[in-house]
Structures are given as C-alpha cells and as structure tokens.
Amino acid sequence: MKYYLEKIMKHQDLSFEEMKKAITHCISEQASDSEIAALLAGLRTKGETADEIAGIVEILRNESLQTTNEFTNVMDNCGTGGDGSGSFNISTTAAFVIAGAGVTIAKHGNRSISSKTGSADVLEHLGVSLTLSKEQVKEILQQNNIAFLFAPHVHPKMGRFSKVRKDLQIPTIFNLIGPLTNPVTLQTQLLGVNHRDILTMMAETLRKLGRKRALVINGAGYMDEASLAGENYITQIDKGKITSFTLHPSEVGLPTHSIEEIRGGDARRNAEILCNVLKGMPGPHLDTVLLNAGLGIFAHGTATTINHGIAMAKESIFSGRAMEKLQNLINYSNTIQNEVM
C-alpha cells in the first residue's frame, strides 16, 4: 500500500491493476482507516482517472453478494447525484418507463445522500422490497423487466469505506462510482454526472467496463439528469467509439421548463410525483421523464433515434405498461414479505 500512496503523492496515476490491488487491500482486515483515508484523499487531490475508477469498480462488483452475468442486454439508468437541484426521482421514474418499452432494467440505487429523497427511499415508500436475494432479483427481472438492487444490501464490503468517507467530509472517488457498481453485468447504460468536464472520462470508464452502448449526460443547470431547462451535454459510446453532442429539448419536440418546476420533496411527495407521471399526468414532471426515458431507450439501442425513444416512452406510459411494471414489482415484494411471515 505504501508504494501506491507514494505514487499518488507524486501525482502519478495508478494503473488498472494497481488500483485493483490497492482496493483489495482496503477491503481486507489488515487495512487501517488511515490507509483508506490517505488513498481516497490522495486520489481526489491528484484527480481520478478512468483506469482507477474502473479498477475499484471491478473489485467491488466481484465482492458483491449478487454479481451475475446471466442476463444479456441489461441496462441501468442512474446519476452520480450531488447536483444540488432538489429534483424529484427522475431516473427512478424513467426506469419504469424504459422497462415498459421492453428494455430490461437492473436499477441500482441507494437512500438519500445529496438529494432530499433517494431511489431506495421512494421505492420503499411505495412498498418495493430493498432486500431481495440474488435468486429473487433474477426471477423478477425475468418476469417483469425491472428489479431494484439496494446498494448497501448487495455491497456489504462498501461498509469498509463508510466511516472514512464520513470522517473525511469531502467528495471522493465513491461519489463517481455508485452508478457503475451494479452487480448485474450491464451491456448498456445511461449515466448522469454533475460535472461537465468528466463526461469523456466517465465514457472511457464505461468502455473499459465493457459497455457496448452508453450515454453520459450533464444536463442544463449542471444536473446529473437530462434537463428541459436548456442545452444538455452528452457523450456517447457506440461500438467502442466515443462521440459528443449537445441536445436542446426543442430539438426533440419537448417544451422548456425551469429546474424549479421539477423540485421534489420527501419520499411521500416523490412517490406521488412518480405515480402521477406513470399515469400520464401532463406537466414538467412528465416531460422531464419523457426526455430521460427516451434517452435511455436510445442508449440501449432499442430506439434508433432519440425522437424514436421519446415516442416509445410515451407509448410505455399511455399504454399503462410503465405503471404495470411498478405494480408488478410491488406485488412481488408483497408476496416475498408474506412468504417470510
């Protein structure tokens, strides 16, 4: 570990393999909190690279209780958080719309960290179980095209870093890797980030992690979601090639809305917004989800264009299929709960 820390202190990057070895040591019983803190703070000061991020993600995924590569063409849609927008649970709502369009979604998430309400908070309020076993996740993915994987439940080794991160009180590499550590092997992804200058680096990371197609987005107002407030900056991976472009909502037939119009609240309020969107209630919340779900469907490759993806998102909602995906997940959770009782 001393070698890796000295290298970072000299502002030298760790290789993919070096990062894997450093993190393997950190999750061992031999590692001290001081070593972990030095590594995280050093990486932050130096600036993390795609190899370093991919290295830590590979180790944490391998250590997960639920790592599986049994599914093909699965995606996730998630942001890194930390944009300070206070928005409702956009990606969580969009996940059901994407699933309703026929895409298999392994939704990986956590409780609130930087926002008012995390994906786990709102889904738990709606009655979705946060503690599904690996076998149950497989079953509901096969039956319903969407399952929720609660990060602390599927990544017990993450707890090794929790105290250190809390004590440091600064952003670390862990603020970037949450959406990348999904234990279900993903072929495609829609990833939101709150810093525009890391779009290409995060795309390179996704490519190193084996994504065949992906979109990395920084929205108008520096949201970690696509935003209707103005220009969105997007980096795409397709067949190994990385390209970048911008997208204004007017280009895909959607109105502009301010970020203030999509503020969320507590779990009860955000659950209400989620359900209203899935019922097709018009307004800024619906329009925002249509944009993000459309981009997700396009990222997956099911839609040939973003406009096509938005059209499929509308069909998913107004046909009732998106709401059906949510209800099926709630019903499955209730069945599991009754079996335990």
pLDDT in tens, the chain (341 residues): 999 999 999 999 999 999 999 999 999 989 999 999 999 999 999 999 999 999 999 999 999 988 888 888 999 999 888 888 889 999 999 999 999 999 999 999 988 765 568 899 999 999 999 999 999 999 999 999 999 999 989 998 888 888 898 888 888 898 899 889 999 999 999 999 999 999 999 999 999 999 999 999 999 999 999 999 999 999 999 999 999 999 999 999 999 999 999 999 999 999 999 999 999 999 999 999 999 999 999 999 999 999 999 999 999 999 999 999 999 999 999 998 777 65
Reported for 2-5, long-range contacts at CB under 8 A and 24+ positions apart, including other chains, are: 4/39, 5/35, 5/38, 5/39, 5/42
* Identity of residue 3: Y
Q: How far is CA 249 from the centre of its chain?
A: 22
State the distance between the two ends of the chain, measured CA to CA, in whole angstroms.
Answer: 47
Count the alpha carbons within 13 Å of 330 in the hemisphere toward its beta carbon: 15
Residues in the annotated binding site for Mg(2+): 91, 224-225
Edge-to-edge strand list for the sheet holding 105-109: 146-150, 105-109, 75-79, 188-192, 213-218, 232-238, 241-247
- From CA 337, how far away is CA 131, in angstroms rounded? 10
Q: Rounded to whole angstroms, how far apart are CA atoms 220 and 224? A: 9
User: Any bridge partners for residue 236, and if so which?
Assistant: 215, 243
Task: To the nearest 10°, report the CA torsion of 276, 144, 112, 175.
Answer: -130
Can you say how many angstroms the Cα of residue 89 is from the centroid of all Cα atoms in its chain?
12
| CA distance linking residue 103 with residue 83, whole number of Å | 27
pTM of the shown model:
0.94
What is the reported pLDDT for 133? 93
The distance from CA 304 to its chain's CA centroid, rounded to whole angstroms, is: 22
Residue 288 contacts by C-beta under 8 Å, 6 or more apart in sequence? 87, 90, 225, 226, 227, 228, 257, 262
Q: Which residues are annotated as a binding site?
A: 79, 82-83, 87, 89-92, 107-115, 119, 165, 224-225
Query: Which residues lie across from 232 on neighbouring strands?
Result: 247
Task: Name which CATH class applies to 75-154+184-329.
Answer: alpha beta
According to the model, what pLDDT value does residue 341 have? 55
- Going from the C-alpha of 24 to that of each of 60, 65, 155, 176, 341, the distances in angstroms are 9, 16, 14, 19, 38
Annotated binding residues for 5-phospho-alpha-D-ribose 1-diphosphate: 79, 82-83, 87, 89-92, 107-115, 119
DSSP state of 254: -
What are the binding residues for anthranilate? 79, 110, 165
What is the per-residue DSSP string for 29-89? TT--HHHHHHHHHHHHHH---HHHHHHHHHHHHHT-TT-B---SS-EEEEE-------B--
Tokens linked to 206: 């996704």
